[in-house]
Structure 1
Amino acid sequence: METRSDNKYRLRVKNLINTHVDSKDIENFMSLDLSASTTGCIFKVPDIPRSQNQNAYVPIAFSIGPWHYSNPNLRANDKLKTLYLRDLISKDRNPKATLMELSNSEMYILELSRKVQECYSSPVDQEYDGCDLLVDGCFIIEFLRKFQDKSRRDPDDPVFSYMLQFLYHDLMLLENQIPWFVLEDIFHRTCGNNEKPLIWYVSAFLKQIFPIAFVPTEGNLPSLQPKHILDLLRLWLVSPIEEEKGKNTVLQIDDIVTNGGWKPIPPASFLRKAGVKIKRKLMADSILQVTFRNGYLEIPPLEFRQGTEDVFQNLICLEQCLTKCPHGITSYVTLLGCLINTPMDFNLLCEAGIFDNWMNPEDVINFFNKAIYRGAYVKDYYYLELSEQVIEYCNRKWPRLRAIYRNEFTTPWAIISQVVAGFLFIFTLLQTLFTIMR
């Protein structure tokens, strides 16, 4: 049931919009085609991963969308969201359409609610309607603009004063998304002349959440067609290797059954002993572009800091739930889980420059060790061919001999000690022979 406070909240939002925006025709807005993005794309996290780490999927400060709307711990920031809506309206000099009629038009609210419902995998709480969706969308759009333009920020804005890390976390949750077409429409109706596209703003924000040594070029951004913000990050990471998918062998589940399973890549410490050299890959379009050539396993660098684990877990859940979605992120985490079996393995990857770790090493090791056992299902494993090439290389004798030489004769003192040990062995052997001959 809708409470009295909820009615006051909606009335306050509508009054706020009426105060700042002049009345205009909504015919163009009502003709908006929302059918392109009506397939289910926002999901409830499955029970198995949720039971093992619930905090990775629950918002800390901001409820976005319907599924955490009723959480009383998050309602306190509704006022902050309405303030951002006010700023969006008041700082927008030439709006293309009014937001007043968006909130007051029952026809639009019902249509928007119906279209948005189709994007969620479970029924949406009836208390969350198109007015609430409008507030959430305006809050995100204004935040993205303030994130890039400091002149839009108020000096005492709590978001940028002490809540930014919370918002980083909350905007990357699978259950805390709203459809991309809603954000895009609000953005277009409030954007200025020659303003960069919405996807540029979101990508600039993602660089701060998921820092990597390489980012998509501005020319490639428009080709991405995300379903929501988290999906844009997924596309950001997966798209480059999807282009190479036809060049490599991808393991399907039928192959697992037919061929009796697949052999995982050995841990990093084993690879080192077998002569494989692990190297930081500097030129890559995605962290997923792991390659093996001439005994070198090249892995793009990854900065692992607070929140990185939660982002990975939500990306994996998105891949698991989204229909016909490639399992690039799941494959990547599975690969690293195979490489990292002990603290020694993790240290080897850090020494090679693969990990820039800001976390407790044990937490990182624990994540990769357990990630593939949290109910994730690898429908198509991207690194089958790479794993087979590495295993075949490890089985050769010559790389092993070179590895032994490299490990045992790395310094002059190591060489001297081995030579002395050899002389002692020969001397002992000769002494034994002379003793027997006597």
Structure 2
Amino acid sequence: MGLSTSARNCYAYPLGDLSKEYFVEMMILDGCFLLELFRRVYFNEVGKDDPVFNVSCMREHDDPVFNVSCMQEHLYHDLLLLENQLPWSVLECLNNLTANSPGQRGAFLTLLVLNFFKQSEADLLMLNINLTPQYEILHILDLVRAAIVDGYNPETSNEPVENQQTKRELKLPQRIPNATTLSKAGIKFKKIQKEGECIMNIKFEKGVFKIPVLGIDERTGPLFRNLIAFEQCHRRPRHKITSYAVLMDNLIDSKEDVDFLCDKGILTNWLNPEDAAQFFNKLYNDTTVMGYNYSGLSEKVHDYYKTKWHKFMGILRRDYFSTPWAIISSITALILLALTLLQTLYTIPWPELIFVNFLQY
């Protein structure tokens, strides 16, 4: 099977109305444009110290892509649309044919593409640009998804993996209270400090949520929606991004939850807090979740939240030990109460009281 035939088979709808010559020309034009775009970004911002620096990729003063305001942002959005994807095999073939040296073939293409998509601080927090794909990449969106979920370590138990998977698929995701409600019940939230940590490695241990930092800006919504759409329509990927979206929607109901997680350093938000909350609330509408990745975590959170002692201790910490002044006031009140009790005990005529009671009998 030739590359042209395999590329045609990648599309869901028949392309019978397109001649072979026109289809090949379209693939070459689109592929060469993408490679030129990725190379100009890389060699102008990252690769100037590359020993095989590509002089032909230097930007010109009248470059219509890099000299027009917001053009890169529009390209970022369009290149991640699921319906706009170019087969990875086409892009890889064109890159190998036009590379300046052997070092710019093969895995170097992955670096070129991911370097283009780290345009903001939010992207840097999510993408592992040094990714080595563990499976055959289908297209650019598939590569970006692989760079986000790389390093994900789901929680395990003593059950066989088959049993865990069956249980997750048989029941709907269990919803947990939002972040501010959980905080009032005594649950703590901490950000994971480890650099390059996969955003999906969320843990809940001994009443503490440990969550990697997530950056949110105007690109994050379209990116996640296309990733979720890809997971919904393709048979290979598990619903990892969809599971993450469901859990974050549980934790974030309103702008108060956004502000709370921002104060904890878990969210880095460049949007209005209300817009950020709406982003999570509408992220996975009209989707299904097969194999919810956080079912075990949700059960542990529910068990902890339902325990009355944990709620009591949470109220105690929040109302009486939340600030230094509250702690001082609480300790002062306890001391005064203890002194009052002692004074009362010392003023009671214990011998006379006992003698009177004895005479009454």
Q: Normalised by the size of structure 1, how large is the TM-score?
A: 0.65
Is 1:153–2:65 an aligned residue pair? no
1:172 corresponds to: 80
Contact conserved, 2:129 with 2:147, CA < 8 A, in 1? Answer: no
Matches within 5 A, 1:214-293: 215-216=127-128, 218=130, 220-241=131-152, 244=154, 249-250=164-165, 254-256=169-171, 261-283=172-194, 285-293=197-205
- Calculate percent identity across the aligned residue pairs: 37
SS in 2 for 1:323: coil
Q: How has the CA–CA distance of structure 1 residues 214 and 312 changed in structure 2, closer, same or farther, with 3 Å as cutoff? A: closer
Counterpart pick for 2:24 among 105, 126, 130: 130
Q: How has the CA–CA distance of structure 1 residues 212 and 389 changed in structure 2, closer, same or farther, with 3 Å as cutoff? A: farther
Contact conserved, 2:169 with 2:290, CA < 8 A, in 1? Answer: no
Q: Distance in 1 between matches of 2:156 and 2:307?
A: 28
SS in 1 for 2:253: coil
Contact conserved, 2:111 with 2:129, CA < 8 A, in 1? Answer: no
SS in 1 for 2:189: strand
2:257 corresponds to: 345
1:396 corresponds to: 307
- Unmatched tracts of structure 2, length 5 or more: 45-54, 345-361
Matches within 5 A, 1:311-322: 311-322=223-234
Q: Distance in 2 between matches of 1:255 and 1:208?
A: 40
SS in 2 for 1:221: coil
Q: Distance in 1 between matches of 2:209 and 2:72?
A: 37
Is 1:310–2:222 an aligned residue pair? yes
Q: How has the CA–CA distance of structure 1 residues 178 and 207 changed in structure 2, closer, same or farther, with 3 Å as cutoff? A: same
SS in 1 for 2:204: strand
- Unmatched tracts of structure 1, length 5 or more: 1-34, 36-110, 431-438
Contact conserved, 2:80 with 2:223, CA < 8 A, in 1? Answer: yes
For 1:186, the aligned partner's letter is L
Q: How has the CA–CA distance of structure 1 residues 202 and 300 changed in structure 2, closer, same or farther, with 3 Å as cutoff? A: same
1:364 corresponds to: 276
Deviation at 1:395, TM superposition (A): 2.3
Cα deviation, 1:202-258, whole Å, max 9, x if unaligned, reads 12222226523365373x4253531000000111122422x64765845756521xx
Deviation at 1:306, TM superposition (A): 1.1
Instruction: Return the index of the structure with the highest Cα Rg.
Output: 2
For 1:378, the aligned partner's letter is V
Q: Distance in 1 between matches of 2:286 and 2:127?
A: 30
For 1:171, the aligned partner's letter is L
Contact conserved, 2:224 with 2:283, CA < 8 A, in 1? Answer: no
Counterpart pick for 2:35 among 122, 141, 144: 141
For 1:156, the aligned partner's letter is D
1:119 corresponds to: 10
Counterpart pick for 2:242 among 330, 343, 347: 330
Is 1:386–2:294 an aligned residue pair? no
For 2:61, the aligned partner's letter is P
Cα deviation, 1:264-290, whole Å, max 9, x if unaligned, reads 122101110111111111226311111
SS in 1 for 2:197: coil
Deviation at 1:132, TM superposition (A): 1.2
Q: Distance in 2 between matches of 1:345 and 1:120?
A: 41
Which stretch shows the higher mean deviation, 312-321 or 393-402?
393-402
Q: Distance in 2 between matches of 1:330 and 1:222?
A: 20
Aligned-pair Cα RMSD in Å = 2.8
Q: Distance in 1 between matches of 2:224 and 2:167?
A: 22
